[in-house]
Structures are given as C-alpha cells and as structure tokens.
A = this chain, B = another copy of it.
C-alpha cells in the first residue's frame, strides 16, 4: 500500500499558485497535462514524451490522461495545434516587423518559420511527425492551414513582381518558397547547416539590382 504522499519519480515540487488540488479532482487537468507535455518536450525532447511521464508531472495517476486524451496520438495532436498556433504567431510577428515589399516579406516569413523551429525544435519535429497526428481533427486542420496561409500570402506579391501569370507558375513558386523554408529549418534542427544562415531565396529570384 504505497502512500500517495510519497514523492514519485519525476514529480514536480508543489506550486502554490496552481489550481487548488488537495481534492480528488484536479480542476483543469487537460491544461495541466498540455503544460506538462510542453515542458517535457522543451527540456527532454520529443522522444521523452510519454503519457505516464506527463501524468506524473501533473501529479495524477497514469490512467488519468485517458479521460482527456484517449491515446497518445490525441495528446500529440493537441500539442500540434498549440504548435501551429505559435508557428503562425512567429511568422506573423516577423512579417509585422519587416518592410512590406515582396522580397522582404518572403524573407521575414522564412525567418519566422526558422526561428520557431530553432526555439522549439521538439515541437517542430512533432508537427511534421508522420502518422503521429490525427489530421482528421478539425482544430489541427484549421491551425495547420492558417500557418501555411502565411506562405501563400507572401508569395503572391513576389509572383506579381516576377511577372508570373498562370496559376500553375504561381503555385509552383508557393511550393518553392515553402519547400526551401521548411527544408532549411528541418535540416537545421537536424544538426546539418548548424552555423549557416538561411539562404535568401527572394534575392536569388529577383534581378540583381535588389541589393
């Protein structure tokens, strides 16, 4: 009969300002689980994210998360929603700070893309982890689409400036902008190109006069 007051492995020190939880029910376990999971991702990485560790960090039993996330995939999906929202914010903030001409906006969005990946490598991995997310979840789908709308938005003026007329050409440019931003961010977080600065696609595409 183990005492419930014995400190469990990996348990966090009790925080005073947490929602009072001397009671049987937690109060806001779903949010606490997500916070615990984000903390684990940040400090230990994606491979260390387990339901039981998350439960322990939130000071509940190992089966408690099941009432909020039926399985690990559901938890990861909820985390990915948060991640895509932050991802969008990162790109929006970078665009906001930058000048509004097409090339600078493309640069800014790419920088936002990269700085999110740099600041949240585990979350970035999670977002693009094959088969580990439930893309039929509407909130995930929406958050994901919102993120990539940034890339569509910044590409259109550049396509104009490059004189691209057909839908096909313009979509190809979108894929190129997205691919190069994503590729660099992914390779960068994988340890390749660690010291290098991101390639400036817009400068290569535009006539030399631009800088």
Chain A residues proximal to chain B, CB less than 8 Å: 45-47, 121, 125, 128, 130-132, 135, 162, 171-173, 175-176, 178-184, 186-187, 189-191, 193, 196-201, 204-205
What are 18 contact pairs spanning A and B, CB under 8 A?
Answer: A45-B130, A47-B132, A128-B187, A128-B190, A173-B199, A173-B204, A175-B184, A175-B196, A175-B199, A176-B201, A176-B204, A178-B187, A179-B180, A179-B181, A179-B184, A180-B180, A183-B183, A205-B205
Given A172-B200, A205-B204: A190 in contact with B130 (beta carbons within 8 A): yes
Residues in B neighbouring A183, C-beta threshold 8 A: 178-184, 186
Q: Is the interface of A mostly helix, strand, loop or mixed?
A: helix
- List chain B residues, Cβ under 8 A from A176: 180, 199, 201, 204
Q: Report the separation of the CA atoms of residues A46 and B132 in the bound assembly, to the nearest whole angstrom.
A: 11
Given contacts A130-B125, A135-B191, A204-B205, are A182 and B175 in contact (CB under 8 A)? no
Of all chain B residues, the one with the shortest Cβ separation from A171 is: B196
Shortest A162–chain B CB gap in Å is 8
Across-interface contacts of A131 in B (CB, < 8 A): 45, 47
Q: Which residues of B contact A46 (CB under 8 A)?
A: 130
- Tell me the smallest distance from the CB of A171 to a CB of chain B, in Å: 7
Q: CA–CA, A1 to B171, complex, Å? A: 64
Contact indicator A187/B196 (Cβ below 8 Å): no
Q: Which of B179, B187, B198 interacts with A199 by CB under 8 Å?
A: B179
Chain B residue, CB-CB nearest to A164: B204
Give Cα A200–Cα B186 distance, bound, in whole angstroms.
Answer: 20
